[in-house]
Chains A and B, each alone.
Chain A
Amino acid sequence: MISSLTQAERGAAMLITLSGMVAGLAMAAAGRGDPMGAHGWIVLAFFALFFGLLVRAAYETEAPEDRSLAYYDDPTKVGILIALAWAVIAMGMGLWVAAQLAWPDLRFDAAWSGFGRLRPVHTSGVIFGFGGNALIATSFHIMQRTSRARMPGQVAPWFVLFGFNLFCLIAASGYLMGVTQSKEYAEPEWYADIWLVVVWVVYFVLYIRTLARRREPHIYVANWYYLAFILVVAVLHIVNNLAVPASWTGAKSYSAFSGVQDAMTQWWYGHNAVAFFLTSGFLGMLYYFLPKRAGRPIYSYRLSILSFWGITFFYIWAGSHHLHYTALPHWVQTLGMTFSVMLLVPSWASAGNALMTLNGAWRKVRDDATLRFMMVAAVFYGLSTFEGSFMAIRPVNGLSHYTDWTIGHVHAGAMGWVALITFGAIYALVPGLWRRETIYSWKAVEWHFWLALAGTVIYVFAMWNSGIIQGLMWRTYGESGTLLYSFTDSLVAMHPYYVARAFGGLLFVTGAIIGAWNVVMTIRHVPRQIPAQDRPTTPKTMEPALPAAE
């Protein structure tokens, strides 16, 4: 990792880590007695770790100057490992909170282990920790391969990757301490938000600079999806997190918007985060790894470009369907509903495009669990986008909102679509990236696939049932016009489904653990396979060029 840096780059990295340490120290000093102080120590320790690593390697041999003939895969490798670590931790958290809902005693009476604090650790952990790291790692891979160019910087990719993980770390540790903005998927407080903007700008610049260096004139469509993900998430993040800190020495801040305005902004952000974080980026993944793995070009490349623009335009205003039957003006609700329904067209175009690509390669899908991960992901994408459009219709929402149906819908998307496509991409990437002959155990991939699928199906069906029962119980009136069931009645009715949900989650987490184990074993135990030309060569001479610095 460090051996691939030149002395100058090591110097720059040291400077960055040193400034980070100083900032951490300042936060710790200013925020004494406040969670911000604790965060200061975390920042300090985080940067000190890297500073130590840099100092220890200071006198190791330097990398050769010209590394432009090799792809820079180290950040991708590290990103994949971190993503898997987050998957195990955050899905485990999910399992824990699911179990808490069925057996509340599992809280063990601690403040930090309450549902309200653990749940955001689970959501942020899977969305940002697992999904975000997977997106960053695969985007590094895809942007280099489709551009046929190396990333421009040596330090910037590491800055993006580790900087993003520092954000995740601050977020997760903050939740346990009770630090939150109380905004779904945007819980971290002001200093974490500012840090994420810095990281994100570097990420965007890195992406654009790689594209600018490309030697392949065409920009493959996956890059558009990734770029939309980076750019729009940046804008959404900035707008939604506009807040005034209560004090510069404390974590607490107040949103720049108030009341229903704040709610509108939050769901404009929230739903677009689903669109551009959980959809656009992962569609980029799908559009690269699915054709690659199937060995067939995407069924309709034109359609993949058209649905990109469709998704980009339609998603923007769909968010207000989260606020049906609230103080939000009726017409804004209708607007969100209309666009949510129209969104089905480009969404299904993407899902259909992916499945049509596999049409004619079903034998491969049958035999190859990796490809099956991607195929099932596309199916779940189609299912959950249909469900989403359906649930955005106001009368349907009247039944589904605030019930477990919503939880089921989100998990159909998050487990069935996002996690499955990511695992598929990871299995497709790992052997080639580490130059291994094969994956350690194909049987374990099969196990992972079936555990993940079974877990998702059990989870989603349990939540559909419990959600609809909940919704119906809450709106059942007796003959005298009073509600027939108390809230507790509905809670009791939920218990078997919550147990089933925890079981589905258990299967899914088990699959993720097997996957992480399989990847680690592949790296540690599978013999290296040196491709015919392991070292990049120029097509002109076919002579080995300068060795890639790995």
Chain B
Amino acid sequence: MSVLAFLIPVTLAMGALGLAAFFWSLRSGQYEDLTGDAERILFDADDTPLTPPRASPRRDMTPKETMK
């Protein structure tokens, strides 16, 4: 089954990528408010809410900053 020598590393690499993505999402605070985040897609904002990029709240919202 020499093809496994190829498929196993490919799969492991994808798994490691998934793990890295999970770590990133954890650090960037993706799991801090699961109850609220499930609700957010229901907000009726589909046509409107694009705020101008200058006032982008994201820079001020990163949890890393809050830790300091």
Contact = CB atoms under 8 A, between A and B. Distances in A.
Physical contact A–B (CB less than 8 Å): yes
Interface of A: 68-71, 145-146, 148-150, 213-220, 231-232, 235, 239, 257, 261, 264-265, 268, 288, 291-292, 295-298, 301-302, 305, 309, 312-313, 316-317, 328-329, 332, 432, 531, 533-534, 536-540, 545
B65 interface: no
Contacts of A531: 47
Interface centre among B22, B33, B42 (most CB of A within 10 A): B42
B67 interface: no
B3 A301 contact: no
B42 A215 contact: no
27 contacts: A68-B52, A70-B50, A71-B47, A71-B50, A213-B53, A214-B58, A217-B57, A218-B40, A231-B17, A268-B7, A288-B41, A291-B42, A301-B37, A301-B38, A302-B34, A309-B18, A312-B18, A313-B18, A316-B15, A329-B1, A432-B47, A533-B47, A533-B48, A536-B48, A537-B48, A538-B52, A538-B55
Contact of A317 (B11, B40, B47, B48): B11
B42 A145 contact: no
A68 B47 contact: no
Contact of A215 (B1, B15, B31, B56): B56
A239 B10 contact: yes
B41 to A, nearest CB: 6
Nearest to B33: A218
B7 A146 contact: no
Q: Which 8 interchain pairs have the tightest Cβ spacing?
A: A301-B38, A297-B38, A261-B3, A218-B37, A301-B34, A69-B50, A297-B39, A536-B50
B7 A265 contact: yes
A291 B42 CA distance: 8
A215 B37 contact: no
Interface in B15-68: 15, 17-18, 22, 25, 28-31, 33-35, 37-42, 45-53, 55-58, 61-62
Given A220-B40, A301-B35, A145 B61 contact: no
Nearest to A303: B34
A330 to B, nearest CB: 11
Contact of A232 (B14, B42, B47): B14
Contacts of A328: 1
A297 B41 CA distance: 8
A305 B10 CA distance: 23
Contacts of B62: 217
Contacts of B47: 71, 432, 531, 533-534, 536
A216 to B, nearest CB: 7
A70 B51 CA distance: 10
A538 B61 CA distance: 19
Nearest to A217: B61
Given A217-B28, A536-B49, A538-B55, 10 more contacts: A150-B50, A264-B3, A264-B7, A291-B41, A301-B34, A329-B1, A332-B1, A432-B47, A536-B50, A540-B55
A150 B46 CA distance: 12
Contacts of B18: 309, 312-313
B38 A291 contact: yes
B53 to A, nearest CB: 6
Contacts of B35: 297, 301
Given A264-B7, A301-B35, A309-B18, A68 B53 contact: yes
Nearest to B7: A268
Contacts of B41: 145-146, 220, 288, 291-292, 297
Contacts of B7: 239, 264-265, 268
B15 A313 contact: yes
Nearest to B51: A538
B29 A69 contact: no
Contacts of B11: 316-317
B16 to A, nearest CB: 12
Contact of B38 (A214, A215, A298, A534): A298
Contacts of A302: 34
B2 to A, nearest CB: 6
Given A215-B57, A288-B41, A235 B50 contact: no
